[in-house]
Amino acid sequence: MSNAAARPSPELLLPAGSLEKMRAAYDFGADAVYAGQPRYSLRARNNEFKLEQLAQGMAEAKQRGKKLFVTSNLIAHNDKIRTYLRDIEPIIELNPDGIIMADPGLIMMVREKWPHVPIHLSVQANTTNYATVKFWQKMGVQRIILSRELSLDEIERIRQECPDMELEVFVHGALCIAYSGRCLLSGYFNRRDPNQGTCTNACRWEYGTQAAGESSTSGEAIPEGQLASDFNFGEAKAEAESDFSTCGNGQRHPAADKVYLLEEKGRPGELMPIMEDEHGTYILNSKDLRAVEHVDRLTRIGVDSLKIEGRTKSLYYVARTAQVYRRAIDDAVAGRPFNPELLLELEGLANRGYTGGLLERRPAQDYQNYITGNSELHRSHFVGEVTAVREDGWVQVQAKNRFGVGDRIELLHPQGNRIVELKEIEARFETNDQATVRLSAPSGVYDSGHEKMRLNDDVRIVSSKGLDMRMRNADLDFRAGSVSSDEPVTVVSVLDAPHRTESALATSHRVTSALRKFASVARILPSSA
């Protein structure tokens, strides 16, 4: 056996914004997940974990032989100190595999009361040198999540100086480049480190602001145009000042709960998401971190854990990143060369362009995408989640994006992916009168944003109560609960008496006035290609 084959395998650590995503992470190769503690974790938006979910998650993790860490990494104000020990105690009683923390005072309090609890120092503590690592090691911290500012060479030096300390490094996901007073803007834009006295004051540059929404399928921030004209900053500021209270007690403006996009004047098209919660304001890089090409180097350095960001991302994101980075780790441990196909597979994820961050100060252009600052579909896109498999070979799919007959579809599965060709599509839903309706058509387009579907080329709609309708096309509005057609419709009643109407479906012939449930069903056969 070669020395390369004997390399220790780093832990693959993935985010878990819900129990469903936790399970997907484990299924597709994660060794551990991290979940946020309510009220005490940063970037807590879209976090479905409460105490009950954490208890269930830890129980399932132990059954699988996996790990679950709890993120409790805020920098606390006085009002949180008062309640912290009370709120963390029931979580510690669940026996998590580690608590991810950043505040020195909270760490001290936990160490004094529960010295047996493993503590991982959050990236928010911004550890950038080996002396700091040694300090925290003396304080009883088990693992250090190293700063995003470090290069690969700096990480290697820390490992050499601290051989018996667990080290963790972010390798993929949204790159948080500013949180409250700690900023990476200058370092990222101009390679001048604000923490070393050479800040270019990037925070003072001219920025435009755009409104944004969040994609229901990917969790990505999506531009929605200019800010609403009815928002008056001056009035909002005056209102806040007239009702001033100490930090932690003031009323948040409703607009503060939304996501926005910043655009620096000198970098048009590079949109940086900005968001806020009760703990502070976060600015994310216009491009997503991707370091799959550096997994081999990080493995050789001896990094103990490779971490993926994305508690707000989709189930597909969790599955795909776990699968790709699992393969990269396995290749690195076995001494196999890096597989460039992994880069292509990550292109199938919604992303805003990829960057290696500051791991390489002069990154190879072959691995970078600086052309666009928004997500583009280069190789594939996420179309749906399989919710059930029937005995007759049909699978039930919750549709997320457009797909149709003839499409080549990649099925992601923990036991291996499979490329198939979609041969037939069928849709079923329930009406308000307890009937089951089945739709079939050779082609169609589903608009998830407006919950509408256009079916084409010989459409057939069959009700379990005996109604059989046939038409050349049909428009389904799932919000309104209507089915209509601008072509002649042949309707066969329960008595099999055919008749025709030359107009759109009349009210009496509508399938339903209110749909309660919709699911897309597709029969998938192996591709001959």
d(CA 317, CA 15): 10
> DSSP letters of 480-512?
TTEEE-SS-EEEE-TT--EEEESSSPPGGG-S-
* pLDDT of 147 over the 60 cut: yes
Percent of the chain exceeding pLDDT 70 equals: 71
pLDDT in tens, 179-230: 554 566 777 677 776 655 567 777 767 777 788 877 766 667 777 766 655 5
User: 355 near 290, Cβ under 8 Å?
Assistant: yes
Half-sphere exposure in the Cβ direction for 48 (13 Å, CA): 14
Architecture of domain 4-367: Alpha-Beta Barrel (3.20)
* pLDDT of 251 over the 70 cut: no
Q: Which residue has better confidence, 11 or 375?
A: 11
Report the pLDDT value the prediction gives residue 464, as an integer from 0 to 100.
Answer: 73
Confidence of residue 505 (pLDDT cuts 50, 70, 90): very low
Domain 384-526 top-level CATH class = mainly beta
Show Cβ contacts of residue 27 under 8 Å, excluding neighbours closer than 6 positions.
319, 322, 414
Instruction: Report the DSSP pairing between strands 354-355 and 182-183.
Output: unpaired
d(CA 292, CA 339): 10
**Token pair for 147:** 């700063």
User: 168 near 120, Cβ under 8 Å?
Assistant: yes
Single-letter amino acid, residue 220: E
Report the pLDDT value the prediction gives residue 178, as an integer from 0 to 100.
Answer: 61
Q: Can you tell me which residue has the tokens 């001219």?
A: 206
Cβ contacts of 331-338, under 8 Å, gap ≥ 24: 331/295, 331/296, 332/7, 332/295, 332/296, 332/299, 332/300, 333/5, 333/7, 333/8, 333/9, 333/299, 334/4, 334/5, 335/2, 335/4, 335/5, 335/7, 337/296, 338/293, 338/295, 338/296
* pLDDT of 500 over the 80 cut: no
Hey, which residues does 498 pair with through a beta bridge?
Answer: 492
pLDDT in tens, 297-325: 999 999 999 999 887 788 889 999 999 99
Report the pLDDT value the prediction gives residue 522, as an integer from 0 to 100.
Answer: 42
d(CA 405, CA 446): 13
Show Cβ contacts of residue 415 under 8 Å, excluding neighbours closer than 6 positions.
none
Neighbours of 469 (CB within 10 A): 22
Q: Which residue has better confidence, 441 or 505?
A: 441
* pLDDT of 389 over the 60 cut: yes
Which residue ranges does the chain devote to CATH 2.60.450?
384-526
Q: Which residue has better confidence, 108 or 503?
A: 108
Q: Is the dihedral of CA 351, 352, 354, 356 positive or negative?
A: negative
Single-letter amino acid, residue 139: M
Radius of gyration, alpha carbons of the chain: 26
d(CA 173, CA 164): 28
* pLDDT of 111 over the 90 cut: yes
Identify the three-state secondary structure at position 84: helix
Percent of the chain exceeding pLDDT 90 equals: 33
Q: What is the mean pLDDT of residues 352-364?
A: 72
Q: What is the signed CA dihedral for 168, 169, 173, 177, rounded to 10 degrees?
A: 110
d(CA 12, CA 25): 10
Show Cβ contacts of residue 53 under 8 Å, excluding neighbours closer than 6 positions.
18, 19, 35
* pLDDT of 257 over the 70 cut: yes
Of 80-94, 232-246, 257-271, 445-459, which has the strongest mean pLDDT?
Answer: 80-94
Burial code (b: 16+ CB inside 10 Å, e: under 16) for 110-131 equals bbeeeeebbbbbbbbbbbbebe
* pLDDT of 502 over the 70 cut: no
Cβ contacts of 99-106, under 8 Å, gap ≥ 24: 99/69, 99/70, 99/72, 100/34, 100/69, 100/70, 100/71, 100/72, 100/73, 100/145, 101/72, 101/73, 102/73, 102/74, 102/75, 103/73, 103/74, 103/75, 103/76, 105/76, 105/81, 106/72, 106/76, 106/81
Report the pLDDT value the prediction gives residue 359, as an integer from 0 to 100.
Answer: 86
**Token pair for 308:** 């993926």
Which residue ranges does the chain devote to CATH 3.20.20.70?
4-367
End-to-end CA distance of the chain: 39
Report the pLDDT value the prediction gives residue 374, as an integer from 0 to 100.
Answer: 43
Average pLDDT over the chain reads 77
pLDDT in tens, 397-409: 777 776 777 778 8
| Model confidence, pTM | 0.67
Angle, vertex CA 363, rays to CA 358 and CA 369, nearest 5? 95
